[in-house]
Chains A and B, each alone.
Chain A
Amino acid sequence: MAFQAPLESYSGKIREITLGSDTQVAVGGENTLPFYTFEGNIPNRPRIAMEVYDTEPVGWAGELKSAIGDVWGDPVAWAKKCESEYGADIVCLQLASTDPNGANRSVDEAVATVKAVLEAVSIPVMVYGSGNADKDGEILKAVAEVAQGKNVVIGPAVEDNYKSVAAAAMGFGAKVAGETPIDVNMAKQLNILMSNLGVAVDSLLIDPSTGALGYGLEYCFSVNERIKLAALTQNDNMLQSPTVSNLGREVWKAKEAKISQEDAPQWGDEKKRGIIWETLTAIAVMMAGADILIMRHPESVKLIKKTIAEFGV
């Protein structure tokens, strides 16, 4: 008799959430571990959300400048290019310039950017604040309002501002991504807090935070994986949200991705190096179960999409 590989079946399932309005994209929905197509259903492959910054980035790697330098500084053009040229599933608009410790752009300016981007693309949009909890609370409320009907994702909701972010999401029909510092329990706690406020569980996404390759990625892998295991094997309702991995910004902060060949000749071609760094990080978090990968470089996106296709999902 031929060998029959033992198959697991899981009691839980990741919630399937549909994003966007014009062109909709579904995320999650799997009832098995990542790429275990032989064991269960994976209706949606991991989705690629490409980053668009609201102002011209400063201090980014030279390789990024040569790839997307023509559009950065113009979020609308950048977003369009993500959709039409780079094959992004989702646009992730990062409102970095609203940070009070940086350019401190106003709520109105942020809203204008969001509005313009929403009008320019048909694929779903995620809007991330600067990471300043208080300011994000204000900004995301206004963002949710202007994006009403567009079925966007707003985030990150954190422990210090989840009330206002969750209220905005509920009030204007947005999805909300809750971000916690690399801990499965904290991820669950934030989801409980938000659902206790009345946010429907199928509006919640989990962003468990990530580090880049070489910067604690193993630990992030474990946390991501444990979220999926709890969701699937223990049927833990509060961990069955699709997960987001905001990896692009982490990768491109790493000196391995950034430093020029001139300064570090032993590390080889800087053009390839950053792309490989981002791709490898993305592969790792994808293997751990991330449902949305937030990425930066068009070449890394191309490589990741190719990899996913080779896995047959």
Chain B
Amino acid sequence: MPKVYFYPDNRGVKVEDGENILRAAVLAGVHINASCGGSGTCGKCRVAVEQGDVEAQDSAKLSAEQVAQGYALACTTAVRGDVEVRIPVEVQMGDSRAALEREHRAVTHGSVLTSKDLSELFGDFDLDPVTHRVYVELSVPSLEDNLSDLERLKRELTRVHGIGDFTVDLACLKKMATKLREADWKVTATLMEGSNGECPRLIRLDAGDRSGKHYGLAVDIGTTSVYAELINLNTRESLGRVSEYNAQVSCGEDIISRIVYSLKKDGLTRLQNLVTDTINRLIGRLLEKSGVDRNDIVYMVAAGNTTMAHLFFGINARYIREGPYIPTVNFMPTVRAADLSIKIAEGARVYYIPGRSSYVGGDITSGLLASGVYKADKLTLYIDVGTNGEMVLGNSEWLLACACSAGPAFEGGSVKHGMRAVKGAIETVRINPDTLEPMILTIGQIKPRGICGSGLIDILAELFLTGVINEKGKFDLELGHPRIRESGGQAEYVLVWADESAIGEDIEITEVDLDNITRTKGAIHAGITTLLDSVQMPVEAIEQVLIAGGFGRYLELDKAITIGLLPEFTEDKVKYVGNGSLMGAHLVLLSQAARSSAKEIAQKMTYLDLSTNPSFMDNYVSALFLPHTDTNSFPSVMERIKERSRV
């Protein structure tokens, strides 16, 4: 890996080949002014490349003379070998070098957690999808060979593919005669394995050989966001992943308000339609992206929380909300996609990963499956941070799960300029402790449009460490800095000025935003504490921590600990899983064994209800403080705060 060395800071860092200098600076803990998110438009991150191989893009922000002198914009300059970079004084801003060094500790590689892929977490598994597509050429019937169409098909499937008895969808049977004859007796049969010892079922017939076009759809139905991934079931290959806000958001941000809405006249139907529309839009985007035919997607696996399951299937969700919180169903039946108005192949089925209870749903089962927690020897803490925060503690022998309402903050909800982790979202933020000026990077390095989860964690941590906010998340207006202002009776920090944002207005973070983020992190931390208390284990007993959720591409452990989202776990214990729920759905599409495991996990989990747990509320209030009211449990953060106050 190439090494980038920065002067006058005298700090170096190793980065991937092709990484840009601005991100290298973030990793090295060096501050460079950058306010356009790395899009190359503000021209503030001008640096001099003194040595080494770089690939710079032309920029209107640099004169020919400057280019000749070796100047380049850090954000649009890729590192191609060992490089030495000098940062001009005006770009560093601020003289207190010591302050910088203390504050911007280099980020070690273990601390920046990137999302993992399935094989890395789950390990090897056999490709064994529940559906099969097989091509057969039937002999043309005659007076001598006068078997019925179905028996003829069976005979050939047995002879060529060794498929024994199977049953058939009536809808498929109704069209069989015409289909076979129009296809000149050359057809692809799509069969689905039966569960619980039932025989397979013929769900679809297509003209010609389509056996190579065998696709499945994995969907994660989140309260705030829906993700869909198209997968080739013959090759395991992923053909694309897309996401959108769940259109139900217009009817309420959390599951409680959704349930309330579902009880209004036509509310349930409307909610069901909204999520179906969202999924169908995602399918449309995937088809366009991949060139796959809708009729070749023969199976869908969905995962989501229990309320989302009820609303997706159009089932009464009322009693999820009312004590003793009983859902209609945890183990959803497999149904035809058409019955749910999901526009994939006719005859295709939808399987929903089973959940444990009203507040620990299929998304958790799915995540535990994908991340291999249910077969782990190590005591593992699995955390899924979504609109609901779910936490599971356990290993291959036992699993204890709990859920709390975390709020949609990390997915961009209930934050003024919050957004999902898509292009234009601010994902990395550093604030210069001396000048209080920010350094920001966006996904895709385009002009910033808003802030995603990882950016929000960074902001809270940086504002706190630089003393812009206090332990309660309240701004220090006495600092008299132009970026810290009061607007509409509310204090805020301007992260991006209007002329550098993609939305034509300032992107700021308000006190209310900070409050919402703090509540989210507080709920997660309190959940972890309560879970540990209930099994009387210290935090040190946890050997492995897996974090799932839609924060973005990265999660910086250091920042997550600084704000007290997580206890002070050591880097070697923690992995960022990314969207665990979607990964589990992906796995179930590819493996019948995984499907059985999902069922076992859902049956095996023990559910701890936090709403009746007296210590949860206490732990929660205790966590509504930066980093935490129990400062003794955050020794390294307290040490940094002490360093800060000495500066």
A185–B622 touching, CB < 8 Å: yes
Chain A residues 26 to 59 lying within 8 A of chain B, measured CB to CB, are: none
A5 to B256, CA, bound (A): 53
B170 interface residue (CB < 8 Å to A)? no
Flag if B470 contacts A183 (CB, 8 Å).
no
Q: Say yes or no: A193-B629 contact (C-beta < 8 A), given A185-B618, A185-B622.
A: no
| Separation of A169 and B155 alpha carbons in the complex (Å) | 94
Cα–Cα, bound, A186→B624 (Å): 9
Question: In the complex the two chains form, is B631's CB within 8 Å of A192's CB?
Answer: yes
CA distance A189 to B621 in the complex (A): 10
Q: Does B472 contact A (CB under 8 A)?
A: yes
Q: Evaluate contact between B471 and A196: CB separation under 8 angstroms.
A: yes
Q: Which residues of B contact A188 (CB under 8 A)?
A: 629
Residues in chain A near residue B622, CB distance under 8 A: 185
Residues of A within 8 A of B471 (CB): 189, 192-193, 196
In the complex, chain B residues 589-647 whose Cβ is within 8 Å of any chain A Cβ: 618, 621-622, 624-625, 629, 631
- B residues within 8 A CB of A186? 621
The residues of A that contact B621 with a CB separation of less than 8 Å are 183, 185-186
What are the residues of chain B within 8 A of A192 when measuring CB–CB? 471, 625, 629, 631
- The answer to the question of A159 belonging to the interface, with a C-beta cut-off of 8 Å to chain B, is yes
Chain A: minimal CB distance from B472 (Å): 7
Complex alpha-carbon distance, A186 and B471, angstroms:
12
A146 CB → nearest B CB, Å? 25
List the B side residues contacting A183 at CB < 8 Å.
Answer: 621
Chain A interface: which size bin? Answer: 10 to 19
Chain B residues positioned under 8 Å from A193 (CB to CB): 470-472
Q: Find chain A residues with CB under 8 A from B625 CB.
A: 185, 189, 192
Please give me the residue from chain B that is nearest to A191 by CB atom: B629
In the complex, residue of chain A having the shortest beta-carbon distance to the beta carbon of B621: A185
Encode contact with B along A157-200: 1 for CB under 8 Å, 0 otherwise.
00100000000000000000000000111101100110010000
CB within 8 Å of A: which B420-475 residues: 470-472
Q: Is the CB of A189 within 8 A of B472?
A: yes
Decide: B472 and A159 in contact? CB cutoff 8 A. yes
**Which residue in chain B gives the minimum CB-CB distance to A160?**
B474
Q: Which of A54-79 contact B (CB under 8 A)?
A: none
Complex Cα gap A170–B295 (Å): 75
Closest to A184 in B: B618
How distant is the Cα of A238 from the Cα of B638 in the complex, in angstroms? 14
Q: Which residues of A have CB within 8 Å of B624? A: 185
| Complex CA distance for A238 and B629, rounded to whole angstroms | 10
In the bound complex, how far is the Cα of B625 from the Cα of A193, in angstroms?
10
Cα(A186)–Cα(B470), bound, Å: 14
Q: Which residues of A contact B629 (CB under 8 A)?
A: 185, 188-189, 192
Residue of B nearest to A198 (CB): B645
Most chain B CB within 10 A, of A185, A189, A192, A238, is at A185
Q: How far, in angstroms, from A193 to B464 measured CA to CA in the complex?
A: 13
Separation of A196 and B629 alpha carbons in the complex (Å)? 13
**Considering residues B618, B624, B629, which has the most beta carbons from chain A within 10 angstroms of its beta carbon?**
B629
| Nearest-Cβ distance from residue A180 to partner chain B, whole angstroms | 10
Task: Give CA–CA (A58, B621) in the complex, Å.
Answer: 37
Q: Which residues of B contact A196 (CB under 8 A)?
A: 470-471
Task: Encode A223-241 as 1/0 by CB contact (under 8 A) with B.
Answer: 0000000000000001000
> Which of A184, A186, A189, A238 has most B Cβ within 10 Å?
A189
**What residue of chain B has the Cβ atom nearest to residue A187's Cβ?**
B629
* Bound form: Cα–Cα A159–B472 in Å: 9
Note all chain A residues with C-beta closer than 8 A to B631. 192, 238
- Given the complex of chains A and B, what is the CA–CA distance between A268 and B472 in angstroms? 48
CB closest chain-A residue, reference B623? A185
| Chain A min CB distance to B615 (Å) | 12
Q: How far is the CA of A295 from the CA of B476 in the complex (A)?
A: 37
Q: Give the residue name and chain of the A residue nearest to B478 (CB).
A: A163
Select from chain B the residue with minimum beta-carbon distance to A230: B630
Residues of B within 8 A of A238 (CB): 631
Closest chain B residue to A183, Cβ basis: B621
User: What's the least CB distance linking A28 to chain B, in Å?
Assistant: 21
CB distance from A3 to the nearest CB of B (A): 32
- For residue B474, which residue of chain A has the nearest CB? A159
Rounded to whole Å, the gap between the CB of B617 and the closest CB of chain A is 10
Question: In whole angstroms, what is the CA distance A238 to B471 when docked?
Answer: 15
Q: How far is the CA of A42 from the CA of B169 in the complex (A)?
A: 84
Closest to B619 in A: A185
Chain A residues with Cβ below 8 Å from B618 are 184-185
Residue in B closest to A159 when the chains form the complex, CB atoms: B472
Give the CA-CA distance A281 to B621 in the complex, in Å. 27
Q: Which residues of B contact A159 (CB under 8 A)?
A: 472
Cα(A186)–Cα(B472), bound, Å? 10
Distance in Å: Cβ of A232 to nearest Cβ of chain B: 16
Instruction: Return chain A residues, CB-CB under 8 Å to B472.
Output: 159, 189, 193
**Nearest chain A CB to B431 CB, angstrom units:** 19
Q: How far is the CB of B505 from chain A (nearest CB, A)?
A: 30
CA distance A189 to B624 in the complex (A): 9
The distance in angstroms between the C-alpha atoms of A281 and B481, with both chains bound, is: 49
Tell me the complex Cα distance, A184–B619, Å.
11
In the assembled complex, how far is the CB of residue B278 from the closest CB belonging to chain A, in whole angstroms? 40
Closest approach, in angstroms, between the C-beta of B465 and any C-beta of chain A? Answer: 14
CB distance from A177 to the nearest CB of B (A): 19
**Complex CA distance for A170 and B631, rounded to whole angstroms:** 23
Enumerate chain B residues within 8 angstroms of A184, measured Cβ to Cβ.
Answer: 618
**Complex: how many Å from CA A192 to CA B626?**
11
Minimum Cβ distance to chain B for residue A157 (Å): 13
- C-alpha spacing A168/B626, complex, angstroms: 25
Chain B nearest CB from A225 CB (Å) reads: 14
With A and B bound together, what is the CA distance between A193 and B467 in angstroms?
Answer: 12
In the bound assembly, the distance between CA atoms of A309 and B621 in angstroms comes to 38
Binding site for A on B (CB under 8 A): 470-472, 618, 621-622, 624-625, 629, 631
A188-B629, A192-B625 known; 5 new pairs, CB 8 Å cut-off, are A183-B621, A185-B625, A186-B621, A192-B471, A193-B472
Q: Which 8 A-B pairs have the closest CB atoms?
A: A185-B622, A185-B621, A185-B629, A189-B625, A188-B629, A189-B629, A183-B621, A193-B471
A-B contact pairs, 25 of them (CB 8 A): A159-B472, A183-B621, A184-B618, A185-B618, A185-B621, A185-B622, A185-B624, A185-B625, A185-B629, A186-B621, A188-B629, A189-B471, A189-B472, A189-B625, A189-B629, A192-B471, A192-B625, A192-B629, A192-B631, A193-B470, A193-B471, A193-B472, A196-B470, A196-B471, A238-B631
